[in-house]
């Protein structure tokens, strides 16, 4: 059986776990732990400390694994391990939290340095009233025009599916180039 | 959809660039930051928007007006600041033309030969730019951009291309950064070079510079000199930098500074050195196509 892997990365609380949970056919193997710092607790109650793990079975011979990276910097030693052998990666950005944009850009650059694989940027929480539009986010994050920056609502399966499809199209284009 | 955030995460330069590139019309408001006691997603103290400190207006990606809330900002104030009206003239004018719009006032001043049309336009432009360059040095304030809003009717709008503002603003910021980096530590002292008399001969210094020079002594730190002269950190840095570049004073650096800098450079950090590129997986086109088909079939 062949397995392929995609990595979902992004800052703390950007929606990586929810993204995987929305589309995985198995209960996400989540390594979330209760958040200890009060300030982080306000964002969410649990955070991913090692990785999230989801699966989509294509057929008897092919399985797609989705790995979510831990969002907090103190677990970033895991990133390089998770990036190994990935087919492509998705950078999740919380569109309503501009304080995380710089961190998102830094994570994007780090992952680009790990492997020259295709990637897309998912502008999550587009249903939020304070969300920055994808056009504004592209300028804010200095995303080049040829990189896909896609609107996303991580708890909506169709939205997640569309982001994954766009990444696969990019991978395909990359192969054909 | 409003754009909101904090200048420490998204600087004024970046905001101007965004507004310029997207050709926006609207108002950028900058507020006093009120600590909420909470932390944001990046663990920095959360600042809620307090009272408005400044507003900048844009029309189709061009800067058209700017105002600081603690300044009057009408045409009389603008011309007074530009030296086109004396303090006394400004006072009298304010009494006489109470309630008149800037546009009506400009027409009266021009027809009375107080000022020319160019004086008005240039003074407004300079006034707006001074405000924007000042705002570009702010780095802690909450902001909010709302599409559509325009300044009050009575204001004279002078459209200014943002490209130049961004370039000049960035240049000024860079200069400030350079000076700050050069004189990072205000606990250093100043001393005169050898043969100070020769060096000072024929040199014309401003009052502020003389005030600093009068305190130069290996016993006084730059911080103490600033305090004595009631100067901000940036003001004292700028003056000391100028004096040092002119060879009129020397900075006595603590020896540990160099070692600390070396240690910091040697330490490096994540992100500065990209990791070694990994081997890409050998995946066939067929695999990707099958993945696409599978995802498409998911509802």
End-to-end Cα, chain B, rounded Å: 30
Whether residues B152 and B211 share a domain: the answer is no
Chain A residues with beta carbon closer than 8 angstroms to that of B280:
115-117
Q: Å from A115 to nearest chain B CA?
A: 5
Which residue in B has a C-alpha nearest to residue A101's C-alpha? Answer: B9
Please give the Cα distance from A119 to A111 (Å, whole number): 9
Whether residues B160 and B203 share a domain: the answer is no
Which residue in B has a C-alpha nearest to residue A163's C-alpha? Answer: B295
Whether residues B198 and B167 share a domain: the answer is no
Average pLDDT of the segment spanning B50-79 = 93
B6 lies within 8 A of chain A by CB: yes
Whether residues B25 and B68 share a domain: the answer is yes
Q: Å from B270 to nearest chain A CA?
A: 8
Whether residues B258 and B115 share a domain: the answer is no
Do the domain assignments include residue B142? yes
Do the domain assignments include residue B85? yes
Whether residues B85 and B227 share a domain: the answer is no
Pick the closest to residue B144 from B69, B62, B55, B35 (CA basis). B55
Q: Å from B59 to nearest chain A CA?
A: 17
Is the pLDDT reported for residue B207 higher than 50?
Answer: yes
How many other CB atoms sit within 10 Å of the CB of residue A165?
17
Q: Which helix (H) or strand (E) holds B123?
A: helix B117-135
Average pLDDT of the segment spanning A99-109 = 93
Do the domain assignments include residue B68? yes
The more confidently predicted of residues A131 and B277 is A131
**pLDDT of the residue at B271:** 29
Q: What is the mean pLDDT of chain A?
A: 87
Identity of the residue in A87, A133, A139 whose CB atom sits nearest the CB atom of B281: A87
Q: What is the mean pLDDT of chain B?
A: 84
**pLDDT of the residue at B100:** 86
Per DSSP, the three-state class of B174 is: helix
Please give the Cα distance from A79 to B275 (Å, whole number): 11
Whether residues B114 and B25 share a domain: the answer is yes
User: Which candidate in B22, B49, B288 is best for mutational testing of the A interface (most A CBs within 10 A)?
Assistant: B288
Do the domain assignments include residue B32? yes
Q: Å from A43 to nearest chain B CA?
A: 7
- Percent of chain B past pLDDT 90, that is, above it, reads 40
Q: Å from B6 to nearest chain A CA?
A: 7
The more confidently predicted of residues B274 and B204 is B204
Task: For chain B, give the number of residues.
Answer: 299
Whether residues B125 and B222 share a domain: the answer is no
**pLDDT of the residue at B43:** 80
* Residue where one domain finishes, among candidates B178, B208, B229: B178
pLDDT digits (tens, 9 = 90+) for B18-54: 999 999 999 999 999 999 999 888 888 899 999 999 9
How many distinct structural domains can be found in chain B? 2
Whether residues B107 and B80 share a domain: the answer is yes
The pLDDT confidence band at residue A74, using thresholds 50, 70 and 90, is low
* Residue where one domain finishes, among candidates B178, B198, B227: B178
Least confident of A1-5, A16-20, A138-142, B158-162: A1-5
The answer to whether the Cβ–Cβ distance between A99 and B44 falls below 8 Å is: yes
**pLDDT of the residue at B259:** 42
**pLDDT of the residue at B267:** 35
The pLDDT confidence band at residue A49, using thresholds 50, 70 and 90, is low
Identity of the residue in B5, B8, B288 whose CB atom sits nearest the CB atom of A175: B288
Whether residues B194 and B145 share a domain: the answer is no
All residues at 6 or more sequence positions from B131 whose CB lies less than 8 Å from its CB, including other chains: B54, B56, B66, B67, B68
The more confidently predicted of residues B253 and A83 is A83
What domain range is B80 assigned to? 3-178
Is the pLDDT reported for residue B2 higher than 50?
Answer: yes
The answer to whether the Cβ–Cβ distance between A99 and B41 falls below 8 Å is: yes
Identity of the residue in A102, A106, A168 whose CB atom sits nearest the CB atom of B288: A168
**pLDDT of the residue at B56:** 96
| DSSP 8-state code for residue B160 | B
**pLDDT of the residue at B150:** 87
Which residue in B has a C-alpha nearest to residue A94's C-alpha? Answer: B41
Please give the Cα distance from B267 to A94 (Å, whole number): 32
Chain A residues with beta carbon closer than 8 angstroms to that of B278:
83-85, 114-115
Please give the Cα distance from B220 to A97 (Å, whole number): 45
What's B241's domain CATH number?
A: 1.10.10
Whether residues B139 and B51 share a domain: the answer is yes
Is the pLDDT reported for residue B124 higher than 80?
Answer: yes
Q: Å from A119 to nearest chain B CA?
A: 13
User: Which candidate in A168, A172, A173 is best for mutational testing of the B interface (most B CBs within 10 A)?
Assistant: A168
Please give the Cα distance from A38 to B141 (Å, whole number): 24
Identity of the residue in B17, B41, B280 whose CB atom sits nearest the CB atom of A115: B280
Do the domain assignments include residue B184? no
Please give the Cα distance from A128 to A14 (Å, whole number): 13
The answer to whether the Cβ–Cβ distance between B278 and A83 falls below 8 Å is: yes
Do the domain assignments include residue B60? yes
Whether residues B51 and B111 share a domain: the answer is yes
Q: Å from A168 to nearest chain B CA?
A: 6
Is the pLDDT reported for residue B198 higher than 60?
Answer: yes
The answer to whether the Cβ–Cβ distance between B41 and A80 falls below 8 Å is: no
Per DSSP, the three-state class of B30 is: strand
**pLDDT of the residue at B270:** 29
Do the domain assignments include residue B12? yes
Do the domain assignments include residue B183? no
B20 lies within 8 A of chain A by CB: no
Least confident of A101-110, B38-47, B213-222, B259-268: B259-268
The answer to whether the Cβ–Cβ distance between A100 and B42 falls below 8 Å is: yes
All residues at 6 or more sequence positions from A102 whose CB lies less than 8 Å from its CB, including other chains: B9
């Amino acid at each position: 059986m062949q397995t392929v892997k995609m990595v979902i990365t992004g800052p703390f609380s950007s929606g990586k776990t929810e993204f995987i949970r929305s589309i995985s056919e198995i209960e996400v193997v989540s390594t979330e732990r209760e958040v200890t710092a009060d300030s982080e607790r306000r964002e969410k109650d649990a955070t991913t400390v090692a990785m999230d793990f989801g699966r989509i079975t294509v057929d008897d011979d092919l399985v797609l694994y989705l790995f979510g990276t831990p969002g907090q910097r103190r677990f970033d030693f895991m990133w390089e391990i998770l990036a190994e052998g990935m087919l492509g990666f998705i950078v999740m950005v919380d569109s309503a939290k501009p304080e995380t944009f710089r961190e998102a850009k830094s994570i994007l650059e780090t992952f680009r340095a790990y492997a020259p694989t295709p990637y897309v940027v998912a502008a999550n929480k587009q249903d939020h009233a304070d969300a920055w539009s994808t056009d504004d986010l592209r300028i804010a994050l200095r995303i080049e025009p040829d990189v896909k920056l896609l609107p996303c609502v991580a708890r909506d399966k169709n939205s997640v599916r569309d982001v994954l499809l766009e990444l696969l199209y990019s991978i395909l284009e990359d192969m054909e180039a | 959809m409003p754009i909101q955030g904090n200048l420490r995460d998204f600087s004024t330069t970046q905001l101007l660039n965004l507004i310029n590139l997207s050709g926006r019309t609207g108002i950028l408001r900058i507020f006093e930051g009120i600590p909420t006691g909470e932390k944001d997603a990046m663990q920095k103290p959360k600042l809620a928007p307090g009272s408005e400190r400044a507003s900048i207006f844009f029309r189709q990606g061009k800067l058209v007006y700017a105002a600081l809330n603690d300044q009057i900002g009408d045409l009389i104030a603008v011309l007074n600041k530009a030296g086109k009206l004396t303090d006394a003239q400004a006072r009298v004018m304010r009494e006489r033309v109470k309630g008149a719009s800037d546009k009506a006032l400009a027409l009266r001043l021009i027809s009375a030969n107080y000022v020319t049309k160019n004086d008005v336009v240039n003074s407004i432009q300079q006034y707006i730019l001074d405000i924007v360059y000042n705002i570009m040095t702010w780095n802690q304030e909450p902001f909010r951009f709302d599409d559509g809003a325009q300044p009050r009717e009575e204001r004279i709008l002078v459209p200014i291309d943002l490209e130049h503002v961004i370039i000049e603003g960035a240049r000024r910021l860079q200069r400030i950064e350079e000076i700050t980096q050069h004189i990072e530590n205000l606990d250093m002292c100043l001393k005169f070079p050898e043969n100070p008399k020769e060096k000072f001969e024929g040199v014309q210094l401003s009052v502020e510079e003389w005030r600093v020079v009068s305190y130069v002594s290996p016993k006084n730190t730059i911080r103490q000199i600033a305090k004595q002269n009631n100067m901000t950190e940036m003001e004292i840095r700028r003056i000391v930098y100028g004096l040092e570049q002119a060879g009129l004073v020397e900075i006595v650096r603590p020896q540990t500074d160099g070692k600390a800098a070396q240690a910091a450079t040697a330490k490096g950090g994540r992100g500065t050195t990209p990791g070694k590129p990994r081997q890409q997986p050998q995946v066939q086109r067929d695999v990707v196509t099958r993945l696409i088909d599978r995802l498409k079939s998911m509802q």
